[in-house]
Each structure stands twice: as C-alpha cells, then as structure tokens.
Amino acid sequence: MGLGDDFGTKFREVGVAEFFRKNLHMLGYSGPIKSFTTAIHEYVTNAIDACEEYGIAPEIKVQIKETKDGGFVVAVEDNGPGIPPEYVPKVFGSMLSGTKFHRYIQSRGQQGIGAAGVILFSQMTTGKPTKVISSTGQKAAVVFLKIDADKNVAKVLDESRVDVDWHGTKLVSEFQEVTYRRGEQSAYEYLRRTAIANPHAKITFIEPTKEKTVWKRSVTKTPARPKEMLPHPLGVTPDDLVRMASVATNSKTLLHFLKTYFSRVSANKAKEILAKAKVEENREPAKLTYQEAVRIVAVFPKVKLLSPPTDGLIPIEEDSLTKSLEDTLKPEFLQVITRKPTTYRGGIPFQIEAAVAYGGGAGRTSGDGDKLEIMRFANKTPLLFDAGACAIHQAVKDINWKNYNIGDIDNAPVTVVVNLLSPYVPYMSAGKQAVAQDPDVVKEIRFAVMAAGRGVKKYMAGVRREKLKQKRRSIFIRYAPEVAWAINKITGTPEEKVLKKLTDTIEHKVRLKNAKDDADAEDAENGGSSGDDAAGSDDADDTEGFGGED
C-alpha cells in the first residue's frame, strides 16, 4: 500500500455552517462580553433592516433574562413586515442565504450569516433550539429550530400557527458562556449608539436587573427605502466579471450582459468596451474566459464612464444626526458634516458622515476625568470592537487636533462620530467590526472629521476670546472704585459721578477692543489654514466622470 493510498478515507467536504461552527471567532464570538454583544447586534440589525426595506418606522424591543444556571435568554422583537411561514426555516436555519448577500444594496447585514450565526452559537453553548415567531399580519408561525451544521439547513423541531393581529418577528435564544454588564462594549452601549445613528427608531431595552431604558425617536421622518444598485465597471475584478457572466441567464450576448448588469454602461459604451478588448459582442456570457475578462477589465478605465449612481446611499442626514446627538449627549457645541458621495476601488460608491461634539455629555467619563470617545458606524450600525485595526479609529487618531484648538485630544470631553455608508462596506473580516484601511476611504474620513473639527476650532477660539474679554473688563472695573475715590479726594468731584464716567469709558473702550479682536479673528479664519485643516477644505478632487482617454 502506497503512502497516500488512504487519502480517500480522510478526505471529506466541509459545509459553510460546519466551517463557522469550528471558527465562531471569525463571526465575532470570542469572549463572554463580545459574544453576547455580537448576538444582540445581529438580531437588531436584521430587525431594523427589515423595517426600513418596507418603509416601517422601527420599534425594537430587546429583553435579557438571567437563567438559574447562570445563562441568559435574549428576546428581540420588531414591528417589521414579518416572514412568510414557509421561509422561516430558510431565513434563520441556513448560512449565506437570505435577501442581502446577492444584492448590491446598502444594508446593515450584508453576508447572510448574522442571525443564523447567533442560532448556531446558541445551540452550541446550550444545546437548545431558538424560538422564532413571525407574522405578516394574520397568522403567526411559531417555529423551534436548530441548524444542521453538516448540511447547512434548518432542523425544525416543532412548528405551529397562531392567530395574531400584528406583524413582525420575535426571536428567543438562550446562551451560556456569555457575560452581561454595562460598559463600553456592552449590549447597552450597542443599543445606545444604535439609537443615535437611527434617530427614527424607538428602542426599548430591559436588562437582567429588569431596569428598562427607552430610546425614543428623535425624529419622525423615516429614511428613504434603500435602493438596490448595479455594480460599476470600475469596481469589479476579472473574477467578478466571470462569475457574474456565468449566472447572467437573462442575457444571450455579452453586449446585452454589460449594459444590463452594470451601471453607467449604455449599448454604445458596451460596444466600445468589447471592441477595445477584442471580445466578440455576440458571445454567450457563460462562455466568457478568464483571459477575456482580464482584457475587458483592463479596458474599463480607458472608456469614459459616468461616475456610479449614489441615489442608493441613504445617510442619517445632518439635521437628524444633529437632533439625535443633541438629545443624547447635550453637548456645549456640535458640528455635523455630510460629505459628497464618492467611490473606492475605482467604482464602489460610499459616503461619509461625521460629527464632533464638545463639552456637556460628550466624551467618556472615567475616574481620570473626561476622555475622547470615538463612535464608529458602518451603514448606521455601531462598531464596538477591534478599534485598533479599524480605518475609522486610525483616521481620527492621526489628525493633529492641536490645529483645532484641542491640545490633548485623548483627555478632552470630545465625541467623534463617523458613519460609513456603502452597498459594500470593506470590512476586515466576517465579524464586521472593523473597516479595512482603504486609502480612498481613509482620505474621506479624514476630510469629513477635519471639516467638523473646523467648527470646533472656531467655537474654541470664541470661548477663549470671550474669557479674554471678561478678564480684560474685570481688570479695569476692579480698580475703578479706587480711582473714583482718589479723584474725589483730589478734585472734590462726587465719587458716584466719577465712577459712572469711568465705568462708561471702560465699557466703551472694551467694546472697541473686543470688536477689533473679533474682526481680526474672522479675518484669520477666512484667510486660510495650514496643516491638517487645509487638507480637507477643498473638494476639487471630486469629478463628474471616471476614467477615459483624452
């Protein structure tokens, strides 16, 4: 018998659910606190996505109860559209399935793993099924299920129907090997930040202690529904192109495929692309070779194409984020900025929102005083873990905050908020807790935060000028009574008359000096900036078109 003859007895295929069962840390399930927060994060993001896709103002209820054996039962309920009974096992019992992974659309969950991953983690730590109750408005499906990791399918243990007069979904899962306590990475903090980035949502949280917190809606306006987009040619690779062509069953020719499956590609542009790539336009898409795909992708930047559509990006919006942060942080000063949409990797659209809050309830309170707080969001979803590896965190820390009249940023009462919007967020892993260090993304984050920082700079300068004004006036007013007394003794002029004349003169002179200082400060602010501040003050790099040869 040869050395490798027994290879077949050892070889077996591993399904996606089985893979993640052995690698749960890749989904964020590592450590008792992170695992618990991750589970709640997955259920809540699914709930808000479902509501928004149907134009429903979300009402989310999260309740945690501690069990007698030290575990926890989590119930997450929403008022979304509900799921038809026949789809409940498929939605929650199979990884990489659902309504998100295959669509190019801005959503909180993007991989089709989230809720199924929670159910898998629950059954691995307790051996118990998850209870799903879902209704589209009449009867509700009540399903108890587990995941068959070997087959990546739901294992339905019990199923029934009940009459109801509501629509939505409720999931109830039990967990062991997790811990709940309030902190910077807790479920409480996750929900608090979710409320900040989703001011149109009402979120109710009941902790194991039965303490109830309700984050009410800060705004009544429901965001526009997310719009599915087509990928832009400049954002795909040869492998992407071959894969898309292989499943383009609605297209009989490559010409039709290019103008149907990509944004900003007309019939004339498709002809030009294929001609320059020397690929026959009447070829069946499924017969596209990798070498031909390489030539087509190489031609994309050489053809004048309009920039990708951005109407599918739905920001929080400046007014809504301002109201939300004012309600939550009650800062002394707040500046909110929304950058114009742009692209990374050549053709993937994204947009950055940023805010800088100073004073009041801004910053983190610790035993050592106020500390910098960086709130990271991707598609309005809080990112609480892996901050050190995240492009958002690094971009904020790399800014020279001394240029914005904040000396020691790490020990200042400052909250920096950054929200990255995209149909394809460049996460570093399936755990979706850190944004990759893409240079285009980092540049836009810096520009947005620095633009907000300029507002803080102006405010801080105003605060300093006001203190100087008060100090200047107080020095002169302090000695006015003594001067009035001395003049009275020398000239005999009534002391009250002298004091009034002195006070009027001081107030007049101080006003003149203050007015000059304000004018000088305004001239200095309008006269340009240097260093970091100058870098983000110009949008000249924004263009209407991408690629093209002169």
Contacts of 435 (CB under 8 A, 6+ apart): 376, 378, 383, 390, 391, 392, 420, 425, 426, 427, 428, 441
How big is the chain, counted in residues?
550
* Model confidence pTM above 0.85: no
How confident is residue 231, by pLDDT bands cut at 50, 70 and 90? confident
Q: Is the pLDDT of residue 324 over 60?
A: yes
Q: Do 336 and 322 contact (CB within 8 A), yes or no? A: yes
Predicted pLDDT at 540: 40
Q: Where are the beta strands (DSSP E) in 265-347?
A: 305-306, 333-338, 342-344
Q: What percentage of the chain exceeds 70 in pLDDT?
A: 84
Q: Which has more pLDDT, 25 or 163? A: 163
> What is the pLDDT, as a whole number, of residue 547?
42
pLDDT tens-digit series, residues 435-493: 999 999 999 999 999 999 998 888 876 666 666 667 767 777 888 888 888 888 888 88
CA distance 360 to 357: 9
Q: How confident is the model at residue 225 (pLDDT cuts 50, 70, 90)?
A: confident
Report whether pLDDT(537) > 50: no
- Give the bridge partners for 399, in sequence order: none
Lowest mean pLDDT among 41-45, 263-267, 483-487: 483-487
Q: Which residues contact 263 (CB under 8 A, 6 or more apart)?
A: 229, 230, 231, 232, 308, 309
Report the C-alpha gap between 351 and 339 in whole angstroms.
6
Segment among 265-269, 287-291, 510-514 with least mean pLDDT: 510-514
pLDDT of residue 513: 80
Q: 385-408 burial, b for 16+ CB within 10 Å, e for fewer?
A: bbbeebbbbbbbeebebebbbbee
Please tell us whether the domain made up of 16-215 is placed in CATH 3.30.565.10.
yes
Q: What is the DSSP track for 26-79? A: GGT--SHHHHHHHHHHHHHHHHHHHHHHTTPPPEEEEEEEE-TTS-EEEEEE--
CB of 352 closer than 8 Å to CB of 445: yes
What was the pLDDT predicted at 24? 60
pLDDT average, residue stretch 306-312: 81
Instruction: Provide the greatest CA pair distance for the chain.
Output: 126
pLDDT per position as a tens digit, 78-120 = 999 999 999 999 888 876 544 444 356 676 654 446 788 899 8
Contacts of 130 (CB under 8 A, 6+ apart): 92, 118, 119, 122, 123, 144, 145, 146, 171, 172, 173
User: 517 pLDDT exceeds 90?
Assistant: no
- For residues 486 and 202, the model is more confident at 202
List residues bridging with 383 in a β-sheet.
Answer: 376
To the question of domain 318-455 being in CATH 3.30.230.10, the answer is yes
Q: What pLDDT shows up at residue 538?
A: 42
Q: State the DSSP code for 237.
A: -
Rounded average pLDDT over 61-77? 96
User: Which one has a higher pLDDT value, 312 or 211?
Assistant: 211
Q: Residues 137-162: pLDDT tens digits?
A: 888 999 999 988 878 888 999 999 99
Whether the pLDDT of residue 265 is over 80: the answer is yes
The Cα 45–Cα 109 span in angstroms is 6
CATH 3.40.50.620 describes domain 233-306: no
pLDDT band at 133 (very low <50, low <70, confident <90, very high): very high
Provide the terminal-to-terminal Cα distance of the chain, rounded to the nearest Å. Answer: 67
Residue type at position 161: R
What 3-state DSSP class applies to 147? Answer: strand
Mean pLDDT of 244-267: 92
Closest by Cα among 99, 106, 115, 108 to 17: 115
Alpha-carbon span 120 to 98, nearest angstrom: 16
- Is the pLDDT at 181 greater than 50? The verdict is yes
With a cut of 90, say whether residue 63 has pLDDT above it.
Answer: yes
Please report the pLDDT score of residue 12 as a whole number: 45
Whether 300 and 233 have beta carbons less than 8 Å apart is answered as yes
- Say which residue, 58 or 489, is predicted with more confidence: 58
Q: Rounded distance, CA 234 to CA 249, Å?
A: 23
Q: Nearest CA to 226 among 55, 97, 79?
A: 55
Residue 22: which region, alpha, beta or left (left: phi > 0; alpha: psi -120 to 50)? Answer: alpha
Q: What is the 3-state secondary structure (H, E, C) of 486-549?
A: HHHHHHCCCHHHHHHHHHHHHHHHHHHHHHHHHHHHHHHHHCCCCCHHHHCCCCCCCCCEECCC
Sign of CA dihedral 135, 141, 144, 146: negative
Tell me, what's the pLDDT at 548? 44
Query: What's the confidence (pLDDT) of residue 525?
Result: 62
What residue type is assigned to position 242 of the chain?
Answer: V
Residue with token string 């991953």? 117
The token duo for 461 is 């300068």
pLDDT at 66: 96
What's the rounded Cα separation, in Å, for the pair 38 and 385? 10
pLDDT averaged over every residue in the chain: 85
Provide the token pair at 78. Answer: 């929403």
Domain residue ranges in the chain? 16-215, 233-306, 318-455, 458-535
pLDDT at residue 219, rounded to an integer: 93
pLDDT category of residue 227 using cuts at 50, 70 and 90: confident
Report which listed range, 59-73, 147-161, 534-548, is most confident. 59-73
What percentage of the chain exceeds 90 in pLDDT?
Answer: 53
Over range 381-398, report the average pLDDT.
94
Residue 528 has pLDDT above 90, yes or no: no
Rounded mean pLDDT of 160-166?
90
Q: Residue 374 and residue 378: Cα distance in Å, rounded?
A: 13
